[in-house]
Amino acid sequence: MRYIYLIILGLFFSVINMEANNSASISLVPCPTNVVPGTGSFQFTPKTVFAVETEEQAAIVRLLSDQFTCAAGFTPKLKVDSKKGNLVLQTDKTIKSEAYCLEITPKKITVRAADAKGFFYALQSIRQLLPPAIESAVKVDGTEWIVPAMTITDEPRFGYRGLMVDVARFFVPKENLLRIIDCMGMLKLNTLHLHLVDDNGWRIEIKKYPLLTEIGASRVERPGKLFPERRNQRQGEPTVEKGFYTQDDIREIVAYAAARRIEVIPEIEMPAHTNSSLAAYPELACPVVDRFVGVLPGIGGKNSEIVYCAGNDSVFSFLEDVIDEVSELFPSKYIHLGGDEASKVNWAKCPKCRARMEAEHIEHTEELQSYFMTRMSNYVRSKGKEVMGWDELTNSTLPEGAIIYGWQGFGKAALKAAAQGHRFIMTPARSLYFIRYQGPQWFEPLTYFGNNTLKDVYTYEPVQEEWNPVYEDLLMGVQASMWTEFCNSPDDVEYQLFPRLLALSDIAWAKKGTK
């Protein structure tokens, strides 16, 4: 009997507790650094005036006022170079970059930040505090457009808060990618890493090499077959175009992302995962390759061992030309050169690769990859950009300054780079690969590699106790990686992304221990 009383008492207190939390709790993802609830609420009406100091701020505010136009059926007025309004933006250089202070009272909303990023994030908080109907593309009647009074001071934990989207395996149409970018902005993520190239498709127009998309963006259809079951293309078998971004598309994507304070990092894979470009230009493979090279519809078996020849100078001039166009298209200071899972079987047999090793005094084919990556890295650096790569780059001498993405062994592979003073980003397959199942495997659509549940993502903590303290300074941040081998529609990609992307945003932004 006593136990029953205890249980009832326990339930009673937990209800009280929930209520207390509910009134105080503010639904914001990622969790802000500090929130002090106020009294009452601010209501947006057709009379509301947004006052901003600059055109740059006006562009940020317009993203929110456009939402009012669609969902509320009215557009708040916007005054540029003005301090008088109901929602006022004020530059405050004492605040850190990306951070903001948001004060909401029933009369006025004041936003303070040092830069556009801070203002953008403050407005995303307002966006989340509004009724969900603010996301509607059509007018919603009967909604009070209110946000509760409060004061938020907020700043991110990590400077790099990323999502990688593999648009090579499944080509994500531009409109769907823009939607993902908008969601990223709402969640205060600031980096989109585009995996543009793989064995299964080349997805970016390169003017100098039209066959990259004429051939490399198409592949054979294997209806009803899942990725691992799809047989390779036979010579002469017809292919179907699966899509690519034109250079105008890329400019539009980059601009759309920039408006949401998101940097787009292009990844041009090398020396492996390159069957799509080798299908277009087979002379770039080692001359010992005697089989037909097509764009792979699936895993590819032995064909996935076919990589660029490291002994052929034309390979480097080809890649330099590609990098020239890519660097023009993406203003990001980074270019990701891939470098993962490169088979060396053909290099070991290839007379050109062997001649290169001899000339460069290289003993092992693993070091030949270092030669390859370093040569391309030097080219990228000569263009004023920094190089990024997967953690396989730590298997041989690292290119100078290369930033490493840790994906293997809970991301530990990247610590080999950190031990040599290199910056790194954590995207461990075991926690942050969104290709994995997010629920029971008997229930979820078929995919690869075990589970990464919402809780697995949410409880991931990149900084480990046993780390040398300098590693924490070299850690730029975290990234979820959305590999799309099992996606066959844009909906499949969204299904895998959500709700886990919210958990990612919290681990990327919220202070340790405050999620």
Q: Which does 350 bind (CB under 5 to 8 A by kind): Zn ion, ligand ACM, none?
A: Zn ion
CB of 281 to Zn ion, least distance (A): 14
Contact between 352 and Zn ion per CB under 5 A: yes
C-alpha–C-alpha distance, residues 483 and 436, integer Å:
9
The CA-CA-CA angle for residues 384, 386, 392, to 5°, reads 150
Report long-range pairs for 143-147 (Cβ below 8 Å, ≥24 apart): 143/71, 143/72, 144/43, 145/43, 145/44, 145/45, 145/68, 145/72, 146/41, 146/42, 146/43, 146/44, 147/41, 147/42, 147/44, 147/104, 147/109
C-alpha–C-alpha distance, residues 311 and 305, integer Å:
16
Yes or no: say if 454 and 506 are a contact pair by the CB < 8 Å rule: no
- Catalytic residue, chosen from 66, 341, 360, 400, is 341
Who contacts 37 (Cβ-Cβ below 8 Å, separation ≥6)? Answer: 23, 24, 26, 148, 149, 150
CA-based nearest residue to 221, from 200, 203, 199: 200
Q: Which does 44 bind (CB under 5 to 8 A by kind): Zn ion, ligand ACM, none?
A: none
Catalytic-residue membership of 361: no
- Catalytic residue, chosen from 199, 249, 267, 273, is 273
Q: b/e map of 127-166 (b: 16 or more CB within 10 Å)?
A: bbbbeebbeeeeebeebebbbbbbebbbbbbbebbbbbbb
Contact between 281 and ligand ACM per CB under 6 A: no
C-alpha–C-alpha distance, residues 217 and 204, integer Å:
9
C-alpha–C-alpha distance, residues 130 and 67, integer Å:
11
Binds ligand ACM (CB under 6 A): choice among 390, 437, 471, 509: 390
User: Which C-beta is closer to ligand ACM: that of 341 or that of 358?
Assistant: 341
Contact between 340 and ligand ACM per CB under 6 A: yes
CB of 389 to ligand ACM, least distance (A): 10
Binds Zn ion (CB under 5 A): choice among 85, 185, 300, 311: 311
CB of 390 to ligand ACM, least distance (A): 5
Segment lying near Zn ion (by CB under 5 A), choices 353-361, 395-403, 410-418, 442-450: 353-361
User: Which C-beta is closer to ligand ACM: that of 377 or that of 479?
Assistant: 479
CA-based nearest residue to 454, from 472, 476, 432: 432
Binds Zn ion (CB under 5 A): choice among 326, 350, 432, 478: 350
Yes or no: say if 389 and 338 are a contact pair by the CB < 8 Å rule: yes
Catalytic-residue membership of 364: no
Return the residue matching tokens 């926690």.
Answer: 431
Tokens of 431: 């926690």
Segment lying near Zn ion (by CB under 5 A), choices 102-110, 346-354, 383-391, 404-412: 346-354
- Catalytic residue, chosen from 103, 154, 166, 198, is 198
C-alpha–C-alpha distance, residues 390 and 294, integer Å:
25
Catalytic-residue membership of 198: yes
Contact between 341 and ligand ACM per CB under 6 A: yes
Q: Which does 372 bind (CB under 5 to 8 A by kind): Zn ion, ligand ACM, none?
A: none
CB of 163 to ligand ACM, least distance (A): 14
Which residue of the chain is nearest ligand ACM when measured via CB? 340
Q: Which does 375 bind (CB under 5 to 8 A by kind): Zn ion, ligand ACM, none?
A: none
C-alpha–C-alpha distance, residues 228 and 234, integer Å:
17
User: Which C-beta is closer to ligand ACM: that of 219 or that of 436?
Assistant: 436
CB of 380 to Zn ion, least distance (A): 22
Q: Where are the beta strands (DSSP E) in 460-501?
A: 475-482
User: Which C-beta is closer to ligand ACM: that of 241 or that of 341?
Assistant: 341
Binds ligand ACM (CB under 6 A): choice among 407, 434, 437, 471: 407
The CA-CA-CA angle for residues 355, 359, 364, to 5°, reads 70
User: Which C-beta is closer to ligand ACM: that of 407 or that of 434?
Assistant: 407
Yes or no: say if 346 and 227 are a contact pair by the CB < 8 Å rule: no
Contact between 449 and ligand ACM per CB under 6 A: no
Binds Zn ion (CB under 5 A): choice among 61, 286, 368, 415: 286
| Site residues (vs Zn ion, CB under 5 A) | 286, 309, 311, 350, 352-353
Q: What residues make contact with ligand ACM under the rule CB under 6 A?
A: 340-341, 390, 407
Just list the catalytic residues: 198, 273, 341
